[in-house]
Amino acid sequence: MNKMHKLSNKNLSSLFLIFICLLQFSCTNTEKNLKEKQEYNVAAYIWPSCHHDERFGDMLWPEKTGEWEIIKKGTARFEGHYQPKVPLWGYEMDDDPIVMEKWIDAATDHGINTFIFDWYWFDEGPFLESTLNNGFLKARNREKMNFFLMWANHDVKQNYWNVHKYRDIDTLLWDGAVDLENFKIIVERVINHYFNQPNYFTIDGMPVFSIFSIHNLLEGFGGLEQTREALDYFREMTKQAGFPGLHLQLIIYGLPNQSILKTLEKLQINSLTQYNWGWMKEQDYIKWATRAIDIRTRWDTLLSIPFFPNVSIGWDDTPRFPHKGEKDIVRYNKSPESFAAFLQEAKDYCDEHPEQEKIITIFSWNEWIEGGYLLPDRKYGFEYLNKVKEVMAGSYSSSLTQQNMSSCEFFGNLQIQRAILNTSPAIDAVVSPWWGARRKVYLPYSSRNRPSRNVRNAEYQLLVSVEDTGTGIFHINGMPFC
């Protein structure tokens, strides 16, 4: 009896161990399958400044907390202005792997599967690299999250990142342009340290490397031909490392022209996107978004390469600039709901461009200093992250798309029902961003009726004119909306 009892217990123990192994195998494969099935790549920019940098930290931020030193000193410029921004999780160092593990879990739990790290090379060496090297790459759950680099090769003035210390000293501290000798060091470092990581983001097997400033790129190498040769070197080194090629992405601002289009073709740039919705800020979030979509549309009509949509959360860089005030801040109609509406628009844009990867860039994960961040804070909590989850899971429904809209809704670039236009069924419509006395509502450029990428603005279908009464209320066929 005892022998049988022992045998039974032994068998039960073996069966339990087998069950646990099968369960772990099943969970691992489920996670793998979920990752493989994720249809959209939602990529949030990381500004890696909130830690002590070994090279230049003492010079820039002597309190040894990185740019938290400046963020904490933000001051309100008008009644109701939310400054300073206060993180829900406290002033954590972004090069701490434990902090990064929390970030990765929060991102992936809410539909974000990629981090884009701002990456710097100043004075012949890296700057602010510890967030990636010591934080992300040492996080125990890093395999859950893809990543790639955005080389932030812009100039920096002396007082740009610490106006309290350097005040009116606006001479150039760092030139973002690099010469070929430095570029070759960059190429070797990027390939060996990052491209070879198993979770580095690729398109068609090619590592994605994003570049912020085309101007500084050309200036550093001395011209277009020299820049083409430098990028060809980068491509060749990437191939020698075992990859099929290199996917070069460019951050773009402003409107297209023939000169920049020829430059993109000459340099064989693979794709475009935005870091945020541009330097020409609007105080109204919806107007800012609408202008950005119009710019994207104009590029889209002329490009043979993808333009990946960007969605920005806001803009408020007043902690860096004491002279800035109310007119420099995106403050009206800025909310998680507005953000979600334009994230849905970006998702729809991806669906309507089946020829390209479904990638959406978001400004940003943690740009506290510029007022655009997904991380939870004391004002919004997890609302922005929850909206990402809703949109990407397909469960988002804007209140502005319901049939029973009030008679005074600001429609901006959001959905308008055909019922309002005395037609049916419901469709999407957009308002042209030219804020004149009369505006027009169009079918979206990316309409399913669009036969190809080369359709011009002239082929929009006019639905109705919108009259600005000058009081903030607009008339659609005589019906008031504000």
Rounded to whole angstroms, how far apart are CA atoms 187 and 234?
Answer: 6
Pairing of strands 146-151, 114-122: parallel
The per-residue pLDDT of the chain, averaged, comes to: 82
Is residue 239 pLDDT above 50, yes or no? yes
Do 359 and 350 meet the contact criterion of CB atoms below 8 Å apart?
yes
Higher pLDDT, 413 or 388: 388
Q: What percent of the chain is predicted at pLDDT more than 90?
A: 73
Give 397's pLDDT tier (boundaries 50, 70, 90).
Answer: confident
Domain boundaries, the chain: 36-393, 398-482
Residues 6+ apart with CB under 8 A from 102: 89
Read off the amino acid at residue 478.
G
Residues 6+ apart with CB under 8 A from 23: none
Is residue 465 pLDDT above 60, yes or no? no
- Rounded CA Rg of the chain: 25
Give residue 473's pLDDT: 38
Higher pLDDT, 470 or 70: 70
Do 252 and 306 meet the contact criterion of CB atoms below 8 Å apart?
no
Higher pLDDT, 279 or 6: 279
Q: What topology does CATH give the domain 36-393?
A: TIM Barrel (3.20.20)
Give residue 11's pLDDT: 52
Rounded to whole angstroms, how far apart are CA atoms 78 and 461?
Answer: 42
Three-state DSSP class for residue 74: coil
How many CA atoms, within 13 angstroms, populate the side-chain half-sphere of residue 431? 26
Is residue 430 pLDDT above 90, yes or no? no
Residue 196 CB neighbours (<10 A): 13
Rounded to whole angstroms, how far apart are CA atoms 403 and 420?
Answer: 8
Is residue 426 pLDDT above 90, yes or no? no
Give 281's pLDDT tier (boundaries 50, 70, 90).
Answer: confident
Do 39 and 286 meet the contact criterion of CB atoms below 8 Å apart?
no
Q: Which residues pair with 150 in a beta bridge?
A: 118, 210
Is residue 403 pLDDT above 60, yes or no? no
Give pLDDT tens digits for 100-157. Answer: 999 999 999 999 999 999 999 999 999 999 999 999 999 999 999 999 999 999 999 9
User: Global pTM?
Assistant: 0.80
Q: What are phi and psi of 465, to 5 degrees?
A: -90, 150
Q: What share of the chain is helix, strand, coil (3-state, %, to 5)?
A: 40, 15, 45
Q: Which range, of 7-21, 78-92, 431-445, averages the lowest pLDDT?
A: 431-445
Higher pLDDT, 320 or 8: 320
Is residue 444 pLDDT above 60, yes or no? no
Do 61 and 52 meet the contact criterion of CB atoms below 8 Å apart?
yes
**Burial tier of 19 (Cβ tally within 10 Å: 0-12, 13-18, 19+):** exposed
Torsion of CA 162, 163, 166, 171, to 10 degrees: 90
Give residue 249's pLDDT: 98
Residues 6+ apart with CB under 8 A from 117: 46, 48, 131, 132, 136, 147, 148, 149, 150
Rounded to whole angstroms, how far apart are CA atoms 29 and 350?
Answer: 27
Looking up tokens 């600039």 gives 321
Give residue 399's pLDDT: 55
